[in-house]
């Protein structure tokens, strides 16, 4: 049984023929050499572009965020974590509480626990930033959305993941 990053489990019978056998061989190899890499997609696609979890441990998660030109993420907050953002390529327009901050390469901002925040790429090139999440709980269901141009509800993070991997009957 495979478990995806959103906790959705799917049974994949390991036979001896064709694609199923190849997939099972790859998954078993990843299990034996890579710890938990086989459980999650390394890069998650969103309407605004992608994020990749680079590393996580007790009390922290490190992500690479890529935002396409003109795109923005939802206005959101978190009850259990704070975040540190560092721009490594492009330009960012950051809503952090009541402040609107422009960041360029090698500039950063701190998002305190509970602060409403949003990330936007105002430029014509892709924005890449490194995000460090710190806190007692770092799950996607800690996202409280206030505004979202992609129509996601405050509790839609897991539903979007399930739809992305083809799970049927997800509202």
Residue pair 52/42 in contact (Cβ under 8 Å)? The answer is yes
- pLDDT (tens digit, 9 = 90+) per residue, 46-104? 999 999 999 999 999 999 999 999 999 999 999 999 999 999 999 999 999 999 999 99
Rounded Cα distance, 85 and 139, in Å: 18
Do residues 64 and 127 touch, judged by C-beta distance below 8 A? Answer: no
Bridging pattern class, strands 92-96 and 117-120: antiparallel
Q: Mind listing the pLDDT tens digit for each residue in 112-166?
A: 999 999 999 999 999 999 999 999 999 989 999 999 888 876 544 444 443 443 4
Domain boundaries, the chain: 1-40, 41-157
Structure tokens at 169: 């009957």
- Of 2.60.120.10, 2.30.40.10, 2.130.10.10, 3.40.50.720, the CATH number of 41-157 is 2.60.120.10
72: three-class secondary structure by DSSP? strand
């Amino acid at each position: 049984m495979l478990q995806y990053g959103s906790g959705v489990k799917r049974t994949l019978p390991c036979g001896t023929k064709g694609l199923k056998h190849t997939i099972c061989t790859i998954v078993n190899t990843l299990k034996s050499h890579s710890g938990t890499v086989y459980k999650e997609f390394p890069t998650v696609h969103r309407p605004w572009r992608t994020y990749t979890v680079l590393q996580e441990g007790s009390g922290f998660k490190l992500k690479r965020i890529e935002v396409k030109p003109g795109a923005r993420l939802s206005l959101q907050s978190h009850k259990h974590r704070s975040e540190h953002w560092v721009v490594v390529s492009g330009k960012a327009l950051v809503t952090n509480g009541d402040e609107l901050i422009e960041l360029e390469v090698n500039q950063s901002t701190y998002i305190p626990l509970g602060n409403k925040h949003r990330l936007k790429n105002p430029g014509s090139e892709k924005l890449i930033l490194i995000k460090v999440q710190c806190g007692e709980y770092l799950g996607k269901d800690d996202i409280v959305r206030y505004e979202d141009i992609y129509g996601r509800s405050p509790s839609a993070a897991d539903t979007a993941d399930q739809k992305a991997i083809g799970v049927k009957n997800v509202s």
